[in-house]
Amino acid sequence: MSVEWLLFLHFAGALLFVGGSLLAAALRVAAMRRSRPSEVALLLGAVRPAVPIVAGGLLLTVGMGFWLADRLGYDLGGTWLTLTFVLVVWMLVVGTLTGRSERHTRELAERLAREGDAPSAELDRRLRAPVGLALDASLLLAAVVVVALMVWKPGT
């Protein structure tokens, strides 16, 4: 496969990953602005189709990135690639944890919607949990840093 195709697929994967991540974040923020559990459940449920887009984009980005780095002769132990790998692992671990938490929040919203759809302090507390919000923010920051590292390749 040509370097141009590898670069195109690497970039396409990055667009899917970042785009899906931004969509999920926007839906989560929109859910925080709602008080009715049915609306929260709908918005958090809309995140679910974005998950395979994010995961597929990440796999495509990493896979094509390794292939591209090999073809271009980049040192896989270089500082910028090592930092990228650390951030990707961070995003995988934290994304799994926050995804599980958000699934439980969505399930609570669905249950509350079936039980009268009245605003709930517990649901609001879960949506606004400081640790969850900080972890979500760290995911977005990590994605921005990874994109910056890929563009500028410091130290090469």
Find, among 11, 46, 9, 44, the residue nearest to 28 by Cα: 44
Q: What's the distance, Cα to Cα, between the start and end of the chain in Å?
A: 24
**Boundaries of every domain in the chain:** 3-152
Contact of 80 with 154, CB cutoff 8 Å = yes
Mean pLDDT split into 10-residue runs, the chain, 156 residues: 94 94 94 97 96 94 92 91 94 94 97 97 97 94 93 83
pLDDT (0 to 100) of residue 50 = 92
pLDDT (0 to 100) of residue 154 = 85
pTM of the predicted structure, to 2 decimals = 0.88
Sign of the torsion angle spanned by Cα atoms 101, 103, 106, 107: negative
Q: What six digits make up the tokens of 68?
A: 């591209």
C-alpha 105: how far from chain center? 17
pLDDT (0 to 100) of residue 156 = 73
Q: Which residues contact 52 (CB under 8 A, 6 or more apart)?
A: none
CA–CA distance, 87 with 65 (Å, rounded to integer): 14
Beta strands in the chain (DSSP E): none
